[in-house]
Structures are given as C-alpha cells and as structure tokens.
Structure 1
Amino acid sequence: MTVFHVCLFILLTLFDHSFGQLVVNVKNKGGDVEREKIEANTTSDSVRLEFMSKDGTLVTQFIDYKSNIQIFRIYVPWEEERGIVQSKPQVLCFVTKFGKNEFISADAMSKLRQKNPTAVRTPEEDRGLERHTLNLLVTLDKASVLSPHLYNICHDAVDSTYAKETDIKLITKALNKDTEKVMTALKNTELEKHTRCKDTSDIAKPCFCQYHLCIEWYPCGLKYCRGKDSTGKVVNYRCGIKTCRRCLSFEHYARQKMFCLWDDL
C-alpha cells in the first residue's frame, strides 16, 4: 500500500468516526463492493457523499442546497508506471447545477438509519449517463460568490476546478444573484479550440479531457404510503427511500495532456 493510499485510508477512517451518519456497502456493476459514507448537515443545508474506488481514487459529491450547486471532487492517484512520479494526487473539481429532485433533502438524509450495516446494497433505479461539458475555470479565491463551501472543498484544485456556463447562468438567475459579479470568478477555457486529449500526441500540450465516474448508490427520493390516522382519515406518510445509480461524464480543459492520462484508455 502506497503512502497515498494510507493517507486516504486514515481520512476515510476519521470521516467514519467523526462525521459519518450513514455507511453503506454497495456492489458496483463490476462486482466490487465500495463503501460509501454519507453525511448530512442540516445547519448548512448540505450533504456529502464519499467513497474510494478499487483503484484508489477518492470521490466526493457535495451538495449545497442553498446555492443550488453540487460539487464532484476527485483525488486521482498518479500512475507511476506511466513514468510520472508525484508525491501528491491529482485533484479535480466539477461544479454543476443541482436539481431538487436529484437527491433527498439534507433534513431527510439526517434522519436515515441503517438497520443492517453489513448488508451489500444495490440501487432500485439506474438513471444512466449524464454528460457535462464544463467550459469555465473557477477562480477559487472568488468562488464564494457561487457557494461558501466551494473553496474549502476544492482548495487543492486551484487550476482544475471547472463549471459550465449555462449552469452558472441558471443558478444565478434562480437565486437572483448578480450575473456579472459571479462571472468575474470564472474564466472561459475556450474548450472548443482544443483537441481531445487521447488524440493529442504531445504530453505537454493543452487539450480537452473526459473524466467518467459512477455513484453506485444514493437516496434519490422518498417513498410515500397511504394509511389511516387515529381518526380514520386517509393520509400519506413517508415509508422509505428510493435509491438510484448515476454515471457522469465530464468534458473539461486540461492544461497539459499529462493531467488527463486516463483519456488514453
């Protein structure tokens, strides 16, 4: 086990004891079991889902309900066999618009309890693949105009935090924010001018990269049942959660092909 993986193991252990409200064992489509940890914070109205994949990649999904934003942060271990040795992992952050029906609320999430923590879960619904083309680079020291959490989550991704212009405009409109002020925190990467990284021969040249990830299990909605109250009146009440799987593909700018080696595969 490398120093990188030891550090991530310690991080996940601390997360389990200090913050984790729900720990779920999930079987992915490849047959591997991943351990997800989901934390809800009702004070900040946010949810954090985190897991480590078999190859050592640490994935975090953070939902800021107040800002209508979700952040996907990925710590990617360097592939030493490719001749690139680094002491730190590569970090990517993808910022997208959050839809209210994509995940249950932070309040509902905070109330979930697991009866059998050793069970291996599978989702009820596969929501397929979402494609996101992220043509903006986020300036992190101005990122608070998007979300007060963005800098803390993505501070290790100073040159690799990306967003989509159409998403940002929809978010600012929905929250009545000053669009011009928000756009000062973003820089257009002119993604369309670059070739795909897998088709770029020079490892030092910029290109556009694709990163693919799957969230194998998450509570995507509440279930309601019908029954009668003490007076005999028919009522609807919460009786469980609906669980889903989703995959996401992110197209984004890479300042050098060496920061997108997985796109050769």
Structure 2
Amino acid sequence: MHLARVWAGLCAVVVAQAQLIVNVKTQGGEVFKETITANISDDSVMLEFPQNDGTYITQLIDFKQELQVFKVIVLGEEELGQSQFQVMCFIMRFFKNNFISSDAMSKLRQKNPGTVRVPEEDRGTEEVELDVSVDVSRGGLLSPHLPVMCSMAATSTYASDRDIKLWATQRRELDGDWSLVSDVTRHLPTRGVARCGDSGRDLASACACHFQVGVHCLVPVWPQVLQGRDNSGKAVSYRCGIRTCRKCRNFNYFVPQRQLCLWDD
C-alpha cells in the first residue's frame, strides 16, 4: 500500500498556505514533521502529522466555537479482515489560552524550518472518556468544520456528554434547548463493557476501545514584543517566537466490534 496516496486521498482539506513546519524529536528518537496552518478568516488552526506506523493525525482548533477535533486515520490490517483504513474523530472543548491564537500564529515566521526540536515541556497525559457519538451530517451545529473534516467518520465520531452540555450552555442561540444537542448526539454504553484488550479473541464482541494521541503543541516565548493590529483594527501585542510542549490524551470510547480496535492489546 502506498501511504502517500492513502494520505492524499483521505486528508485533502482545503486550507490556506501552511504557515509553519515544526520537526519534533520524541524521547524514542522518532522525528515527526508537523504542518501547522492558521486560518484567520474562520479563526482556526490546523495541525497535521504522520506517525512512523502510518497513522495520520489532524488536530483542528476552532477558536470561534471553542472546541477542538482530533481526526485519526489508522491503516487497516487486511490479513485480519480489516478495511484499508479506519477514520475516527474525537471532539473536545477547547480553552483559548491553551494555544497560540490564529492571528498570532499567522504572523510567525521561520528562519530555520529544518531545525529539529525536542519538547521543552511535558504536559502529561489526560484520560478522556467519550460517551456519545456525534451525527456528523448535522455536526455543523457544533462546528462548521465537522461535516467536512469528519465526513469519513460518519459512525466513528465521538465526544463527551459533559463537554457537549457545557458547550451548549455557552451558546446563546440554543437558549437552553437541549433537543438541539440531542439531535446530533447519541449516548453510548459505558457500564459493564470490557476493555477491548481484555475481551479475548472474539472480534465480533463490543468493547471499550482505547487510543492515545500525543501532540507536540506550541506555546509562545517572550524574547521581544511585536506591535500590530487585529482584524478589527485594534492595536495588539504579539510575543515573538515559540517553544514546544508535549500533551497526550487517552481517548476511551465504545466500539460495537473488537475488529475496530485491534491496536488495543
């Protein structure tokens, strides 16, 4: 299987020109090339990188809707009867101060794009329980990016009920009408479901899947301050430069067949 063709077909997202390339070395010595794109018009930042095992990760941060989406493409094991690939989307709330803004990101420039960085800060691993599935075709209620980004994860897009309700509380247009949220979400079994790695050899059995996503994030540094103006013309200051950090998340979610979670041993 030619990985480049698979990625090109699955990850074709129309974005502006990439603003930043970051090469990051892991503790195990692997080097990942992350492409980071800032889109000022819709106030979003997209981060993409392939892992050495063929997995492709895309993280989209929607600053307007205050949520982030992780899209994961996992190449299938055809000898075990899997399809050519699997696509999953994981949705989480997002706090704006956890990442450089799209406007500030668009102003960063690189002198040495080939430099290999080692994460300067380890932000640990977060356990994330995802107990609802999201109807991608109606997911524009949560973010206009969802129907496009997760179109190939129609039955494998997940979020937490708690995050969705907290998000909905903040959206004035909902006015507390939970039916609008329930239209796009469906609760999944969470109790009495064995973890896939403990469910034996029965590939048809339902189980709780586990998938870890480690992202090398960017935070600003403070060598100097640049003056500029935002989209509204207001004078603002931008910190010049970045440093890298690492943040991992263990996503836990229900799958109807262990066949869909063969990596969780």
- Shorter-normalised TM-score: what interval? 0.7 to 0.9
Match of 1:259 in 2: 260
Match of 2:45 in 1: 47
- Point out 4+ residue stretches in structure 1 off by more than 6 angstroms: 11-15
What is the Cα deviation at residue 28 of structure 1?
A: 1.3
- Alignment map for 1:1-265 (pairs within 5 Å): 2-3=1-2, 5-8=3-6, 10=8, 19-81=17-79, 83-86=80-83, 88-178=84-174, 179-201=178-200, 202-215=202-215, 217-221=216-220, 223=222, 225=224, 238-264=239-265
Structure 1: 5+ residue runs without aligned partners? 228-235
Local SS of the residue matching 1:218: strand
Identity level (%): 42
Kindly tell me: are residues 109 and 175 of structure 1, through their superposed partners in 2, closer, same or farther at Cα, counting changes over 3 Å? same
Structure 2: 5+ residue runs without aligned partners? 227-236
Query: RMSD of the alignment, in Å?
Result: 2.4
Local SS of the residue matching 2:122: strand
CA distance in 2, matches of 1:77, 1:18: 27
CA distance in 2, matches of 1:14, 1:259: 24
Kindly tell me: are residues 210 and 85 of structure 1, through their superposed partners in 2, closer, same or farther at Cα, counting changes over 3 Å? closer
Local SS of the residue matching 1:191: coil
CA distance in 2, matches of 1:226, 1:113: 14
Kindly tell me: are residues 176 and 259 of structure 1, through their superposed partners in 2, closer, same or farther at Cα, counting changes over 3 Å? same
CA distance in 2, matches of 1:237, 1:77: 40
Per-residue CA deviations over 1:104-158 (Å, capped at 9, x if unaligned) read 1010111111110111012221100011000000011111111111110000001
Residues matched between the structures, number: 251
Q: TM-score, normalised by structure 1?
A: 0.87
Give the conservation status (yes or no) of the 8 Å contact 2:225–2:240. Answer: no
What is the Cα deviation at residue 180 of structure 1?
A: 2.6
Per-residue CA deviations over 1:147-186 (Å, capped at 9, x if unaligned) read 1111100000011000001111111112224233122100
What is the Cα deviation at residue 241 of structure 1?
A: 2.7
Kindly tell me: are residues 85 and 144 of structure 1, through their superposed partners in 2, closer, same or farther at Cα, counting changes over 3 Å? closer
CA distance in 1, matches of 2:88, 2:120: 29
